């Protein structure tokens, strides 16, 4: 496999799509976090660590991603591109910004009723899936967290990638739960079904209607 980073000859349209997508991921995660029904495994872990360290999610996630980036650079340069950098920094800081807006404009206690939390969770989860699909479909690089799963699967060749990924997410979920983050229904959905759903969405919606010129 060619082990080159994806920074050259980048289509500007796809780069704009990637930047918009990761910002929308942060937007969706800010609402999912407010529902207290869980987030994706990586965000769950990072929320726990950021609380313990007294840092914003964006700041801690930038530090954590930079650490993971070292391993990705060594073992899987082909996973690195502009999308990698966008994911490393924009998801977390977008989350911080939209959380600040939520706290400022949405009254305290607005998310207390379970019915409200579910009504917010459904569109937020849908937005996250669409945004993540657009980000992945642009093929401009993988987030350090996701790239690590590919590195592990490459090293453990006898185990299918899907099994490796589920185990990987499960370990991160347990770590996030131990750090005090919410292990909720959204976490379970994202751990077990997010990958296949994003793959389907990328193949049937994103590639056809949003990034139709992808080579």
Residue 74's Cβ-count burial label (10 Å; 0-12, 13-18, 19+) is exposed
pLDDT value for 209: 65
Band (55; pLDDT cuts 50, 70, 90): very high
Q: Is the pTM of this model over 0.75?
A: yes
Q: pLDDT tens digits for 177-198? A: 999 999 999 998 888 877 777 7
- pLDDT > 60? residue 22: yes
pLDDT value for 6: 65
Nearest to 132 by CA among 79, 206, 48: 206
Q: What is d(CA 176, CA 32) in angstroms, rounded to the nearest whole number?
A: 16
Nearest to 91 by CA among 29, 7, 176: 29
Q: pLDDT tens digits for 76-125? A: 898 999 999 999 999 999 999 999 999 999 988 899 999 999 999 999 99
Q: What is d(CA 32, CA 35) in angstroms, rounded to the nearest whole number?
A: 5
Task: Give 136's Cβ-side CA count (13 Å radius).
Answer: 22
Task: Give 148's Cβ-side CA count (13 Å radius).
Answer: 16
pLDDT value for 3: 59
Q: pLDDT tens digits for 130-149? A: 898 888 888 899 899 999 98
In this prediction, residues 20-37 reach a mean pLDDT of: 96
Q: What is d(CA 129, CA 186) in angstroms, rounded to the nearest whole number?
A: 12
pLDDT value for 166: 85
């Amino acid at each position: 496999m060619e082990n080159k980073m994806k920074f050259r000859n980048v289509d500007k349209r796809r780069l704009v799509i990637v930047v918009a997508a990761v910002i929308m991921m942060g937007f969706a995660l800010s609402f999912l976090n407010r529902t207290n029904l869980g987030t994706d495994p990586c965000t769950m872990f990072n929320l726990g660590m950021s609380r313990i360290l007294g840092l914003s999610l964006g700041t801690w996630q930038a530090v954590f991603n930079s650490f993971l980036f070292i391993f990705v650079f060594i073992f899987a340069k082909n996973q690195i591109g502009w999308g990698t950098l966008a994911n490393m920094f924009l998801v977390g800081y977008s989350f911080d910004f939209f959380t600040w807006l939520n706290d400022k404009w949405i009254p305290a206690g607005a998310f207390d009723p379970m019915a409200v939390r579910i009504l917010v969770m459904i569109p937020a989860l849908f937005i996250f899936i669409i945004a993540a699909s657009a980000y992945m479909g642009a093929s401009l690089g993988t987030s350090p967290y996701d790239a690590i799963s590919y590195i592990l699967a490459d090293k453990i060749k006898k185990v299918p990638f899907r099994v490796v990924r589920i185990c990987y997410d499960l370990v991160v979920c347990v770590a996030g739960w131990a750090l005090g983050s919410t292990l909720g229904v959204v976490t379970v959905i994202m751990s077990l079904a997010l990958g296949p759903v994003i793959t389907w969405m990328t193949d049937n919606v994103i590639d056809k209607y949003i990034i139709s010129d992808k080579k």
